[in-house]
Amino acid sequence: MPERTASLSLPQRPDATPQTARRIIGKGRVEGAQGARSLYIHMPFCAHKCHYCDFYSIVDQQDRQEPFTRRLERELLALAPAAGSLRTIFVGGGTPSMLRVPLWQDVLQTLRMGFDVSQLAEFTVECNPESISSPLVDTLVRGGVTRISMGAQSFNHHHLKTLDRRHDPANVERGLAMVRAAGIRRTNVDLIFAVPGQSMQDWHDDLKRALDLGTEHISAYSLTYEPKTELTARLARGEFSPCDEDLEADMLESTIDVLRSSGFERYEVSNFAKPGEECRHNLAYWRQEEWLAAGPAASAHVRGHRYKNTPRLDDYLAIDDEGFAPIVDHEGPDPKRALTELLMTGVRIREGVDVARVASAAGEIGVDVFDAVKRSANALTRQGLMKADEAKWAPTPKGMSMADHMAVELMRAMEST
Ligand code: SF4
Protein backbone atom coordinates (compact mmCIF):
# COMPACT_ATOMS: atom_id res chain seq x y z
CA MET A 1 0.00 0.00 0.00
CA PRO A 2 1.78 3.07 -1.17
CA GLU A 3 2.47 6.05 0.99
CA ARG A 4 0.57 8.18 -1.45
CA THR A 5 1.52 11.48 -2.92
CA ALA A 6 -0.83 14.24 -3.97
CA SER A 7 -2.32 13.33 -7.28
CA LEU A 8 -2.46 16.00 -9.93
CA SER A 9 -5.66 16.15 -11.92
CA LEU A 10 -4.11 17.37 -15.11
CA PRO A 11 -5.42 16.70 -18.57
CA GLN A 12 -3.64 13.77 -20.16
CA ARG A 13 -2.66 13.96 -23.81
CA PRO A 14 -2.59 10.52 -25.39
CA ASP A 15 0.44 9.90 -27.55
CA ALA A 16 -0.04 9.36 -31.24
CA THR A 17 2.60 6.65 -31.30
CA PRO A 18 3.87 4.37 -28.57
CA GLN A 19 7.29 5.25 -27.34
CA THR A 20 9.77 4.26 -24.70
CA ALA A 21 11.55 6.33 -22.10
CA ARG A 22 14.74 6.20 -24.20
CA ARG A 23 13.60 9.11 -26.36
CA ILE A 24 13.23 11.31 -23.28
CA ILE A 25 16.08 10.11 -21.15
CA GLY A 26 18.59 9.61 -23.97
CA LYS A 27 21.70 7.58 -23.40
CA GLY A 28 24.33 10.18 -22.51
CA ARG A 29 25.64 10.24 -18.97
CA VAL A 30 25.01 13.45 -17.05
CA GLU A 31 27.46 14.59 -14.47
CA GLY A 32 26.94 14.90 -10.72
CA ALA A 33 24.23 17.28 -9.63
CA GLN A 34 22.92 17.72 -13.17
CA GLY A 35 21.10 14.41 -13.11
CA ALA A 36 17.89 13.43 -11.34
CA ARG A 37 18.54 12.86 -7.67
CA SER A 38 15.51 10.80 -6.81
CA LEU A 39 14.46 7.37 -8.03
CA TYR A 40 11.11 5.63 -7.67
CA ILE A 41 10.78 1.89 -8.21
CA HIS A 42 7.40 0.18 -8.53
CA MET A 43 7.06 -3.47 -7.55
CA PRO A 44 3.63 -4.66 -8.65
CA PHE A 45 3.02 -7.85 -6.66
CA CYS A 46 0.33 -8.18 -3.99
CA ALA A 47 -1.16 -11.09 -2.09
CA HIS A 48 -4.62 -10.11 -3.30
CA LYS A 49 -6.41 -7.01 -4.56
CA CYS A 50 -7.77 -4.91 -1.68
CA HIS A 51 -11.22 -3.56 -2.41
CA TYR A 52 -10.37 0.15 -2.26
CA CYS A 53 -7.13 -0.02 -4.23
CA ASP A 54 -6.53 1.60 -7.60
CA PHE A 55 -2.74 1.30 -7.58
CA TYR A 56 -1.25 -0.89 -10.23
CA SER A 57 -0.77 -4.32 -8.72
CA ILE A 58 -1.30 -7.94 -9.66
CA VAL A 59 -1.92 -10.97 -7.53
CA ASP A 60 1.41 -12.68 -7.12
CA GLN A 61 1.64 -16.25 -8.42
CA GLN A 62 5.40 -16.42 -7.74
CA ASP A 63 6.03 -17.12 -11.45
CA ARG A 64 6.76 -13.60 -12.60
CA GLN A 65 8.94 -12.29 -9.80
CA GLU A 66 12.14 -13.51 -11.44
CA PRO A 67 11.41 -12.15 -14.97
CA PHE A 68 10.26 -8.90 -13.39
CA THR A 69 13.51 -8.60 -11.46
CA ARG A 70 15.69 -9.27 -14.51
CA ARG A 71 13.70 -6.70 -16.49
CA LEU A 72 13.88 -4.16 -13.66
CA GLU A 73 17.66 -4.59 -13.46
CA ARG A 74 17.96 -3.81 -17.15
CA GLU A 75 15.77 -0.76 -16.80
CA LEU A 76 17.70 0.52 -13.79
CA LEU A 77 20.99 0.21 -15.66
CA ALA A 78 19.48 2.03 -18.66
CA LEU A 79 18.27 4.87 -16.43
CA ALA A 80 21.44 5.15 -14.37
CA PRO A 81 23.36 7.50 -16.70
CA ALA A 82 20.56 10.08 -16.30
CA ALA A 83 20.89 10.06 -12.52
CA GLY A 84 23.01 12.39 -10.50
CA SER A 85 24.25 11.39 -7.11
CA LEU A 86 21.02 10.00 -5.70
CA ARG A 87 19.53 11.66 -2.62
CA THR A 88 16.41 9.53 -2.29
CA ILE A 89 15.11 6.16 -3.41
CA PHE A 90 11.56 5.00 -2.77
CA VAL A 91 10.36 1.50 -3.55
CA GLY A 92 6.57 1.29 -3.61
CA GLY A 93 3.90 -0.90 -5.04
CA GLY A 94 2.15 -3.19 -4.94
CA THR A 95 3.82 -4.83 -2.03
CA PRO A 96 7.60 -4.64 -2.31
CA SER A 97 8.01 -6.85 0.75
CA MET A 98 6.57 -9.72 -1.32
CA LEU A 99 9.59 -9.88 -3.60
CA ARG A 100 11.67 -12.89 -2.60
CA VAL A 101 14.82 -12.12 -0.62
CA PRO A 102 17.36 -13.38 -3.23
CA LEU A 103 15.67 -11.18 -5.85
CA TRP A 104 15.80 -8.23 -3.49
CA GLN A 105 19.54 -8.89 -3.11
CA ASP A 106 19.89 -8.65 -6.89
CA VAL A 107 17.96 -5.38 -7.07
CA LEU A 108 20.01 -3.84 -4.27
CA GLN A 109 23.24 -4.93 -5.88
CA THR A 110 22.14 -3.40 -9.21
CA LEU A 111 21.41 -0.12 -7.47
CA ARG A 112 24.86 -0.13 -5.88
CA MET A 113 26.53 -1.01 -9.18
CA GLY A 114 24.64 1.40 -11.39
CA PHE A 115 24.11 4.49 -9.29
CA ASP A 116 26.14 6.88 -7.18
CA VAL A 117 24.56 6.35 -3.75
CA SER A 118 27.34 8.03 -1.78
CA GLN A 119 25.06 10.95 -0.89
CA LEU A 120 21.90 8.94 -0.36
CA ALA A 121 19.89 10.66 2.39
CA GLU A 122 16.89 8.35 2.43
CA PHE A 123 16.00 4.95 1.04
CA THR A 124 12.41 3.91 1.76
CA VAL A 125 10.78 0.57 1.12
CA GLU A 126 7.05 -0.04 1.57
CA CYS A 127 6.25 -3.18 3.50
CA ASN A 128 3.05 -4.92 4.43
CA PRO A 129 2.60 -6.47 7.85
CA GLU A 130 1.87 -9.93 6.46
CA SER A 131 4.93 -10.21 4.21
CA ILE A 132 7.71 -8.52 6.17
CA SER A 133 10.28 -10.94 7.59
CA SER A 134 13.59 -10.78 9.44
CA PRO A 135 15.64 -12.13 6.49
CA LEU A 136 14.07 -9.47 4.27
CA VAL A 137 14.70 -6.65 6.72
CA ASP A 138 18.31 -7.77 7.23
CA THR A 139 18.79 -7.79 3.45
CA LEU A 140 17.29 -4.33 3.13
CA VAL A 141 19.55 -2.96 5.86
CA ARG A 142 22.63 -4.42 4.21
CA GLY A 143 21.46 -2.87 0.93
CA GLY A 144 21.32 0.62 2.41
CA VAL A 145 17.60 0.96 3.18
CA THR A 146 17.05 3.57 5.89
CA ARG A 147 13.29 3.84 6.18
CA ILE A 148 10.33 1.48 6.17
CA SER A 149 6.79 2.55 5.34
CA MET A 150 4.29 0.13 6.87
CA GLY A 151 0.84 -0.31 5.35
CA ALA A 152 -1.22 -0.60 8.53
CA GLN A 153 -4.36 1.29 7.39
CA SER A 154 -6.22 0.40 10.60
CA PHE A 155 -5.77 -1.65 13.76
CA ASN A 156 -9.45 -2.50 13.90
CA HIS A 157 -10.35 -5.96 12.55
CA HIS A 158 -13.81 -4.87 11.49
CA HIS A 159 -12.59 -1.86 9.48
CA LEU A 160 -9.78 -3.85 7.92
CA LYS A 161 -12.42 -6.30 6.75
CA THR A 162 -14.44 -3.46 5.21
CA LEU A 163 -11.34 -2.42 3.29
CA ASP A 164 -10.62 -6.07 2.45
CA ARG A 165 -7.21 -5.82 4.07
CA ARG A 166 -6.34 -9.26 5.30
CA HIS A 167 -3.48 -8.74 7.73
CA ASP A 168 -3.54 -9.21 11.46
CA PRO A 169 -3.01 -5.79 13.10
CA ALA A 170 -0.64 -7.45 15.59
CA ASN A 171 1.74 -8.00 12.67
CA VAL A 172 2.23 -4.25 12.26
CA GLU A 173 3.81 -4.15 15.70
CA ARG A 174 5.76 -7.34 15.04
CA GLY A 175 7.04 -5.96 11.71
CA LEU A 176 8.13 -2.64 13.15
CA ALA A 177 9.91 -4.43 16.01
CA MET A 178 11.87 -6.39 13.38
CA VAL A 179 12.71 -3.18 11.57
CA ARG A 180 14.04 -1.56 14.75
CA ALA A 181 15.95 -4.66 15.79
CA ALA A 182 17.69 -4.59 12.41
CA GLY A 183 18.78 -0.99 13.00
CA ILE A 184 16.34 0.96 10.84
CA ARG A 185 15.20 3.93 12.90
CA ARG A 186 12.92 5.79 10.49
CA THR A 187 9.42 4.47 9.85
CA ASN A 188 6.08 5.58 8.48
CA VAL A 189 2.69 4.13 9.34
CA ASP A 190 -0.06 4.47 6.72
CA LEU A 191 -3.58 4.94 8.11
CA ILE A 192 -7.00 5.39 6.48
CA PHE A 193 -9.91 7.19 8.08
CA ALA A 194 -13.56 7.78 7.15
CA VAL A 195 -14.05 4.04 6.69
CA PRO A 196 -17.77 3.15 6.58
CA GLY A 197 -18.96 2.47 10.11
CA GLN A 198 -15.89 3.99 11.74
CA SER A 199 -16.59 6.19 14.74
CA MET A 200 -14.45 9.03 16.02
CA GLN A 201 -13.48 6.81 18.94
CA ASP A 202 -12.37 4.06 16.53
CA TRP A 203 -10.22 6.56 14.67
CA HIS A 204 -8.68 7.87 17.87
CA ASP A 205 -7.89 4.29 18.84
CA ASP A 206 -6.09 3.80 15.50
CA LEU A 207 -4.10 6.99 15.95
CA LYS A 208 -3.16 5.97 19.48
CA ARG A 209 -2.06 2.49 18.36
CA ALA A 210 0.14 4.07 15.67
CA LEU A 211 1.65 6.55 18.14
CA ASP A 212 2.27 3.78 20.66
CA LEU A 213 4.43 2.07 18.03
CA GLY A 214 6.87 4.96 18.30
CA THR A 215 6.79 5.93 14.64
CA GLU A 216 7.84 9.46 13.75
CA HIS A 217 5.81 9.73 10.54
CA ILE A 218 2.14 9.04 9.87
CA SER A 219 0.34 9.27 6.54
CA ALA A 220 -3.39 9.67 7.20
CA TYR A 221 -5.68 9.57 4.18
CA SER A 222 -9.43 9.69 4.10
CA LEU A 223 -10.91 6.76 2.24
CA THR A 224 -11.60 7.58 -1.37
CA TYR A 225 -13.92 5.65 -3.64
CA GLU A 226 -11.87 5.25 -6.77
CA PRO A 227 -13.61 4.36 -10.03
CA LYS A 228 -13.64 0.69 -10.96
CA THR A 229 -12.69 -0.57 -7.51
CA GLU A 230 -14.65 -3.28 -5.72
CA LEU A 231 -15.31 -0.91 -2.82
CA THR A 232 -17.00 1.57 -5.15
CA ALA A 233 -19.05 -1.25 -6.66
CA ARG A 234 -20.10 -2.34 -3.17
CA LEU A 235 -21.10 1.23 -2.36
CA ALA A 236 -23.16 1.40 -5.57
CA ARG A 237 -24.87 -1.86 -4.59
CA GLY A 238 -25.87 -0.23 -1.31
CA GLU A 239 -23.89 -2.67 0.84
CA PHE A 240 -22.90 0.14 3.19
CA SER A 241 -23.18 3.90 3.64
CA PRO A 242 -20.16 6.12 3.27
CA CYS A 243 -18.85 8.03 6.26
CA ASP A 244 -20.82 11.18 7.01
CA GLU A 245 -19.05 14.22 5.51
CA ASP A 246 -19.12 16.22 8.74
CA LEU A 247 -17.68 13.29 10.67
CA GLU A 248 -14.94 12.94 8.05
CA ALA A 249 -14.07 16.64 8.39
CA ASP A 250 -14.07 16.31 12.19
CA MET A 251 -11.79 13.27 11.95
CA LEU A 252 -9.30 15.27 9.93
CA GLU A 253 -9.33 18.20 12.35
CA SER A 254 -9.00 15.81 15.25
CA THR A 255 -6.07 14.08 13.54
CA ILE A 256 -4.26 17.38 13.30
CA ASP A 257 -4.85 18.09 17.02
CA VAL A 258 -3.98 14.60 18.27
CA LEU A 259 -0.80 14.38 16.24
CA ARG A 260 0.24 17.92 17.06
CA SER A 261 -0.03 17.18 20.76
CA SER A 262 2.31 14.23 20.17
CA GLY A 263 4.94 16.41 18.49
CA PHE A 264 3.94 15.83 14.84
CA GLU A 265 3.63 18.63 12.33
CA ARG A 266 1.33 18.55 9.36
CA TYR A 267 3.89 19.16 6.65
CA GLU A 268 1.65 18.08 3.78
CA VAL A 269 -2.13 17.87 3.61
CA SER A 270 -2.16 14.16 4.54
CA ASN A 271 1.31 13.69 6.01
CA PHE A 272 2.50 14.29 9.55
CA ALA A 273 6.02 14.04 10.91
CA LYS A 274 8.15 14.91 13.87
CA PRO A 275 10.60 17.72 13.02
CA GLY A 276 13.26 16.48 10.60
CA GLU A 277 11.41 13.20 9.91
CA GLU A 278 9.53 14.31 6.80
CA CYS A 279 9.68 11.95 3.83
CA ARG A 280 12.43 13.51 1.73
CA HIS A 281 11.50 11.54 -1.34
CA ASN A 282 7.89 12.71 -1.35
CA LEU A 283 9.08 16.25 -0.71
CA ALA A 284 11.05 15.96 -3.95
CA TYR A 285 7.73 15.25 -5.71
CA TRP A 286 5.93 18.09 -4.01
CA ARG A 287 8.78 20.50 -4.71
CA GLN A 288 8.55 19.52 -8.38
CA GLU A 289 12.13 18.28 -8.50
CA GLU A 290 13.22 15.63 -10.98
CA TRP A 291 12.94 11.92 -10.42
CA LEU A 292 13.51 8.81 -12.45
CA ALA A 293 11.08 5.94 -12.38
CA ALA A 294 11.43 2.20 -12.93
CA GLY A 295 8.92 -0.63 -12.97
CA PRO A 296 5.42 -0.91 -14.44
CA ALA A 297 3.12 2.06 -13.78
CA ALA A 298 5.95 4.10 -12.27
CA SER A 299 5.71 7.83 -13.05
CA ALA A 300 8.70 10.03 -13.80
CA HIS A 301 9.42 13.74 -13.96
CA VAL A 302 12.60 14.39 -15.81
CA ARG A 303 13.93 17.23 -17.99
CA GLY A 304 10.51 18.87 -17.98
CA HIS A 305 8.78 15.70 -19.19
CA ARG A 306 6.18 13.74 -17.29
CA TYR A 307 5.40 10.21 -18.25
CA LYS A 308 4.37 6.90 -16.84
CA ASN A 309 5.74 3.47 -17.61
CA THR A 310 3.21 1.10 -19.08
CA PRO A 311 0.87 -0.10 -16.34
CA ARG A 312 0.82 -3.65 -17.72
CA LEU A 313 3.41 -6.08 -16.48
CA ASP A 314 3.15 -8.14 -19.68
CA ASP A 315 4.07 -5.11 -21.81
CA TYR A 316 6.80 -4.14 -19.39
CA LEU A 317 8.34 -7.59 -19.69
CA ALA A 318 7.88 -7.87 -23.45
CA ILE A 319 9.00 -4.45 -24.67
CA ASP A 320 12.62 -3.72 -23.89
CA ASP A 321 14.18 -0.82 -25.77
CA GLU A 322 17.82 -1.17 -24.74
CA GLY A 323 16.51 -1.51 -21.21
CA PHE A 324 14.06 1.37 -21.38
CA ALA A 325 10.38 0.69 -20.77
CA PRO A 326 7.35 1.58 -22.91
CA ILE A 327 5.62 4.68 -21.61
CA VAL A 328 2.12 6.15 -21.55
CA ASP A 329 0.63 9.54 -20.63
CA HIS A 330 3.66 11.41 -21.87
CA GLU A 331 3.58 15.19 -21.58
CA GLY A 332 6.52 17.18 -22.88
CA PRO A 333 7.88 20.39 -21.37
CA ASP A 334 5.10 22.94 -21.03
CA PRO A 335 5.54 26.18 -19.05
CA LYS A 336 1.85 26.39 -18.21
CA ARG A 337 1.78 22.88 -16.86
CA ALA A 338 5.00 23.49 -14.93
CA LEU A 339 3.52 26.55 -13.19
CA THR A 340 0.25 24.74 -12.52
CA GLU A 341 2.07 21.86 -10.85
CA LEU A 342 4.31 24.16 -8.85
CA LEU A 343 1.31 26.02 -7.44
CA MET A 344 -0.91 22.97 -6.93
CA THR A 345 1.64 21.15 -4.83
CA GLY A 346 3.04 24.34 -3.26
CA VAL A 347 -0.27 25.05 -1.51
CA ARG A 348 -0.31 21.50 -0.09
CA ILE A 349 3.01 21.62 1.73
CA ARG A 350 3.74 23.59 4.86
CA GLU A 351 7.00 25.03 3.49
CA GLY A 352 5.11 26.46 0.49
CA VAL A 353 6.59 27.39 -2.84
CA ASP A 354 9.59 29.57 -3.72
CA VAL A 355 8.40 32.86 -5.17
CA ALA A 356 11.48 33.01 -7.40
CA ARG A 357 10.48 29.68 -8.99
CA VAL A 358 6.91 30.91 -9.49
CA ALA A 359 8.22 34.12 -11.09
CA SER A 360 10.54 32.21 -13.37
CA ALA A 361 7.84 29.72 -14.46
CA ALA A 362 5.28 32.52 -14.91
CA GLY A 363 7.78 34.55 -16.96
CA GLU A 364 7.92 31.75 -19.51
CA ILE A 365 4.18 32.03 -20.09
CA GLY A 366 3.68 35.77 -20.37
CA VAL A 367 4.58 39.16 -18.93
CA ASP A 368 1.43 39.61 -16.83
CA VAL A 369 1.15 36.11 -15.43
CA PHE A 370 3.27 36.57 -12.33
CA ASP A 371 1.48 39.79 -11.33
CA ALA A 372 -1.91 38.10 -11.69
CA VAL A 373 -0.90 35.09 -9.62
CA LYS A 374 0.73 37.34 -7.02
CA ARG A 375 -2.48 39.34 -6.65
CA SER A 376 -4.30 36.07 -6.02
CA ALA A 377 -1.69 34.99 -3.45
CA ASN A 378 -2.10 38.33 -1.67
CA ALA A 379 -5.89 37.92 -1.64
CA LEU A 380 -5.49 34.44 -0.14
CA THR A 381 -3.15 35.95 2.44
CA ARG A 382 -5.77 38.53 3.41
CA GLN A 383 -8.26 35.65 3.86
CA GLY A 384 -5.85 34.01 6.30
CA LEU A 385 -5.21 31.02 4.03
CA MET A 386 -1.72 31.84 2.90
CA LYS A 387 1.36 33.59 4.17
CA ALA A 388 2.94 35.34 1.22
CA ASP A 389 6.23 37.16 1.60
CA GLU A 390 9.02 38.03 -0.84
CA ALA A 391 10.58 34.57 -0.68
CA LYS A 392 7.77 32.06 -0.07
CA TRP A 393 4.06 31.55 -0.52
CA ALA A 394 3.05 29.05 2.12
CA PRO A 395 -0.34 27.83 3.33
CA THR A 396 -1.40 28.69 6.85
CA PRO A 397 -2.75 25.78 8.94
CA LYS A 398 -6.25 26.87 7.93
CA GLY A 399 -5.18 27.19 4.31
CA MET A 400 -3.72 23.70 4.23
CA SER A 401 -7.20 22.35 4.84
CA MET A 402 -8.39 24.43 1.89
CA ALA A 403 -5.55 23.61 -0.47
CA ASP A 404 -7.87 22.69 -3.34
CA HIS A 405 -9.67 26.00 -3.06
CA MET A 406 -6.36 27.90 -3.09
CA ALA A 407 -5.17 25.95 -6.12
CA VAL A 408 -8.37 26.83 -7.99
CA GLU A 409 -7.98 30.52 -7.14
CA LEU A 410 -4.36 30.60 -8.28
CA MET A 411 -5.20 28.71 -11.49
CA ARG A 412 -8.02 31.10 -12.21
CA ALA A 413 -5.62 34.02 -11.83
CA MET A 414 -3.12 32.34 -14.13
CA GLU A 415 -5.77 31.74 -16.76
CA SER A 416 -7.11 35.30 -16.52
CA THR A 417 -4.12 36.85 -18.28
S1 SF4 B 1 -1.65 -4.17 -0.62
FE2 SF4 B 1 -3.76 -3.74 -1.24
S3 SF4 B 1 -3.85 -1.48 -1.22
FE4 SF4 B 1 -1.69 -1.99 -1.24
S5 SF4 B 1 -1.13 -1.99 -3.43
FE6 SF4 B 1 -1.69 -4.12 -2.88
S7 SF4 B 1 -3.83 -4.28 -3.41
FE8 SF4 B 1 -3.36 -2.10 -3.32
pLDDT value for 6? 40
Evaluate whether residue 325 is within a structural domain: no
pLDDT value for 1? 47
Evaluate whether residue 326 is within a structural domain: no
Q: What is the dihedral of CA 147, 252, 57, 322, to 10 degrees?
A: -60
The amino acid sitting at 354 is D
The amino acid sitting at 287 is R
CATH number of the structural domain spanning residue 170: 3.80.30.20
In three-state secondary structure terms, 307 is: strand
Ligand 1 and 414: CB distance under 6 A: no
Q: What is the pLDDT of residues 38-57, one digit of tens each?
A: 999 999 999 999 999 998 89
Same domain, yes or no, for 122 and 246? yes
Same domain, yes or no, for 206 and 136? yes
Select from 43, 45, 50 the residue to mutate for testing ligand 1; criterion: most ligand atoms less than 8 Å from CB. 50
CATH number of the structural domain spanning residue 354: 1.10.10.920
Evaluate whether residue 174 is within a structural domain: yes
Determine the Cα–Cα distance for residues 290 and 332; give it in Å rounded to an integer.
14
Same domain, yes or no, for 348 and 272? no
Same domain, yes or no, for 282 and 378? no
pLDDT value for 9? 41
Q: What residue ranges of the chain have pLDDT lower than 50?
A: 1-2, 4-17
Same domain, yes or no, for 357 and 242? no
Evaluate whether residue 3 is within a structural domain: no
Same domain, yes or no, for 253 and 345? no
* C-alpha 268 to ligand 1 mean position (Å): 22
79 to each of 66, 107, 171, 230, 399, how far by Cα in Å? Answer: 20, 14, 36, 36, 38
Determine the Cα–Cα distance for residues 229 and 145; give it in Å rounded to an integer.
32
Evaluate whether residue 23 is within a structural domain: yes
Same domain, yes or no, for 59 and 202? yes
By the 8 A CB rule, do 24 and 330 touch?
Answer: yes
List 271's β-bridge partners, or say none. Answer: 219, 268
Same domain, yes or no, for 148 and 260? yes
Positive or negative, the CA dihedral 343, 266, 246, 239 is positive
Evaluate whether residue 2 is within a structural domain: no
Same domain, yes or no, for 49 and 189? yes
Record the pTM. 0.94
pLDDT value for 26? 81
pLDDT value for 16? 43
Range of the domain at 275: 19-286
Q: What is the pLDDT of residues 142-181, one digit of tens each?
A: 999 999 999 999 999 999 999 999 999 999 999 999 999 9
Q: How many domains does the chain have?
A: 2
* C-alpha 48 to ligand 1 mean position (Å): 7
Determine the Cα–Cα distance for residues 71 and 42; give it in Å rounded to an integer.
12
